[in-house]
């Protein structure tokens, strides 16, 4: 499988969301990455179901929802009802991760587990065969436009080795500070999905920027 590109809607212009959705629909991106922040799990708030509703209406590609919230179980069904294709929860926010993952799958969504920069991939040994996606945070979650953390390469490499060894089908998604400089190296060491927010939306030609990430 060639790698997937998932622009992060967090960096879109919310005053012109329909226009930005049309841009993404016409681009070579694969998913919309949708960042949900609650101001508790992360020190920032993003948006909720009203924006999800607009995305559901205008997006013509799968919605890859990244829940940076405490107690995600409470809201899984509502996100599914608002068009989520993939639902990723943070390992740091889920005391019963196995149960949460089963719940996501029972809703008919792809189930993802996200890990913060300080969280070791070795904690995924006993869940890697149950998840569809592992989302490695390559910045501390909370904001777009931050600097890529170099240790992500080592984590991606270790995770890829675990996925092969365990015969898991999980995709590796890298989220935060992705740009043309680090993207090829990430793909080379096993990344399947690249999230890019600021790099796409602050460029003068977002469609061309998405195409350049896609053709790596």
The residues carrying an active-site annotation are 35, 175
- Scanning the chain, the segments in alpha helix (DSSP H) are 17-25, 49-58, 76-81, 97-106, 152-166, 180-188, 198-201, 206-214
178 binds, among Zn ion, ligand DX5, none (CB under 5 to 8 A by kind): ligand DX5
Q: Which residue has the tokens 């030609």?
A: 205
Residue 142 interacts with ligand DX5 (CB under 6 A): yes or no: yes
Subset of 173-192 contacting Zn ion (CB under 5 A): 175
| CB 8, min distance to ligand DX5, A | 4
Q: Is residue 19 packed enough to be buried (19+ CB in 10 Å), middle (13-18) or exposed (0-12)?
A: exposed
Residue 38 interacts with Zn ion (CB under 5 A): yes or no: no
Q: Are 100 and 89 in contact (CB under 8 A)?
A: yes
Subset of 11-70 contacting ligand DX5 (CB under 6 A): 11, 33, 35, 66
**Tokens at 51, concatenated:** 């924006």
Q: Which residue has the tokens 């904690």?
A: 123
Query: Using CB under 5 A as the criterion, what x/- string covers residues 47-66 for binding Zn ion?
Result: -------------------x
Residue 35 interacts with Zn ion (CB under 5 A): yes or no: yes
Provide the pairing of β-strand 133-137 with 32-37: unpaired
**Tokens at 198, concatenated:** 């600021």
Binds ligand DX5 by CB under 6 A, chosen from 89, 178, 183, 210: 178
66 or 160: whose CB is closer to ligand DX5? 66
Alpha-carbon span 201 to 110, nearest angstrom: 26
Residue 152 interacts with ligand DX5 (CB under 6 A): yes or no: no
Q: How far is CA 127 from CA 76, 81, 147, 189, 210, in A?
A: 19, 26, 29, 21, 32
Binding segment toward ligand DX5, per CB under 6 A, in 20-28, 87-95, 98-106, 136-144: 136-144
Residue 72 interacts with ligand DX5 (CB under 6 A): yes or no: no
Alpha-carbon span 39 to 186, nearest angstrom: 30
Residue 7 interacts with ligand DX5 (CB under 6 A): yes or no: no
131 or 165: whose CB is closer to Zn ion? 131
145 binds, among Zn ion, ligand DX5, none (CB under 5 to 8 A by kind): ligand DX5
133 binds, among ligand DX5, Zn ion, none (CB under 5 to 8 A by kind): none
Contact positions vs ligand DX5 (CB under 6 A): 8, 10-11, 33, 35, 66, 139, 141-146, 175-178, 195-199
């Amino acid at each position: 499988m060639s790698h997937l590109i998932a622009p992060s809607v967090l960096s879109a212009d919310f005053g012109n969301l329909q226009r930005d959705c049309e841009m993404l629909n016409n681009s070579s991106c694969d998913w919309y990455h949708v960042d949900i922040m609650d101001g508790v799990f992360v020190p920032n708030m993003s948006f909720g179901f009203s924006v999800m509703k607009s995305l559901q209406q205008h997006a013509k590609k799968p919605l890859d929802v990244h829940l940076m919230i405490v107690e995600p179980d409470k809201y899984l069904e509502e996100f599914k009802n608002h068009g989520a294709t993939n639902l990723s929860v943070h390992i740091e926010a889920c005391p019963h991760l196995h149960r949460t993952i089963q719940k996501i799958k029972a809703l008919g969504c792809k189930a993802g587990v996200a890990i913060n920069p300080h969280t070791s991939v070795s904690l995924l040994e006993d869940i890697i065969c149950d998840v569809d996606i592992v989302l490695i945070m390559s910045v501390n979650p909370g904001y777009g436009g931050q600097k890529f953390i170099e240790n992500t390469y080592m984590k991606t490499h270790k995770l890829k080795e675990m996925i092969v060894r365990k015969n898991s089908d999980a995709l590796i998604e890298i989220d935060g500070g992705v740009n043309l400089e680090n993207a090829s190296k990430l793909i080379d060491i096993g990344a399947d999905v690249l999230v890019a927010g600021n790099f796409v939306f602050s460029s003068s030609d977002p469609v061309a920027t998405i195409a350049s990430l896609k053709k790596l």
